[in-house]
Amino acid sequence: MSLIEIRKTAVNVETTYHEGGPSADVPLRLASAAAVIRNPFAGRYEPDLMPFMAELRSLGKQLATTLVDLLGKENVEVYSKAAIVGINGEMEHGAVWHEAGGWAMREVLGQPKAMVPAVKAVASAGYRVMVPVHYIHASYVRSHFNSIEVGIQDAPRPNEILFALVMGTGGRVHSRLGGLLKENVSAHDGQR
């Protein structure tokens, strides 16, 4: 029997044309894809979460594919992941998403090397998190440090988990604070 029982999914897209300055030649698009599932371990301690983490790879691939189909694989420059665990769960039930969600995005995007940022929380329905994003090929590209809000009004219920992936098409509109530029990434180690 599957450990993944989806109640609902949601996709959100933000398009930023300007931040008070001139309109961008190409608007920035940040998107999130989320799934709300039953928490198979709500209300009890489960010592072995590895099978759950492994099975979540399929959900991760589904959400990552949704985002790539929406934004275009060749356009994706930033990524991240998030988990919000209902109050009958524990933080570790959200931490399983680190490997499953990160693996899925790397798989779908062609193995970018930068670590995938993340945020997780145990909270009540309607809780929202600010999800940090950065450049998919090097974590220190300052122009691509950004965030997007993720949450669903009626989720997670106490015995649920909301898992989300985030992708975007570029750095901040009007970025002008220096630092490593994406054009100058040279180490190809996911850092610089």
On whether residue 192 sits in a domain, the answer given is no
DSSP state of 19: S
Residue 59 DSSP SS3: helix
Q: Give the pair of three-digit tokens for residue 152.
A: 């669903």
pLDDT-based confidence at 192, cuts 50/70/90? confident
Cα angle: 149, vertex 140, 31; to 5 degrees: 25
Q: Give the pair of three-digit tokens for residue 103.
A: 């693996």
**Integer angstrom CA distances of residue 8 from 95, 106, 152, 154:** 20, 24, 10, 10
DSSP 148-189: EEE-BTTB--TTEEEEEEEEESSS-TT--S-SB-GGG--S-S
Supply the range of the domain harboring residue 118.
6-170
Handedness of CA 60, 64, 67, 69 (dihedral sign): negative
On whether residue 181 sits in a domain, the answer given is no
On whether residue 43 sits in a domain, the answer given is yes
On whether residue 183 sits in a domain, the answer given is no
Going by their DSSP bridges, the two strands 6-16 and 78-85 should be labelled as: unpaired
Rounded Cα distance, 28 and 77, in Å:
10
pTM summary value:
0.96
User: Bridge partners of 29?
Assistant: 15
Residue 122 backbone phi and psi in degrees, to 5? -105, 125
On whether residue 23 sits in a domain, the answer given is yes
On whether residue 186 sits in a domain, the answer given is no
State which amino acid sits at residue 148: I
What b/e string do you get for 135-163 counting C-beta neighbours within 10 Å, with b at 16 or more? bbbbbbbbbbbbbbebbbeebbbeebbbb
Are 174 and 168 in contact by the 8 Å Cβ rule? The answer is no
Residue 117 pLDDT: 97
**Residue 47: CATH number of its domain:** 3.30.1330.110
Residue 189 pLDDT: 84
Residue 38 pLDDT: 98
On whether residue 179 sits in a domain, the answer given is no
pLDDT over 80 (residue 179): yes
On whether residue 190 sits in a domain, the answer given is no
pLDDT-based confidence at 121, cuts 50/70/90? very high
Residue 190 pLDDT: 85
Domain count, the chain: 1
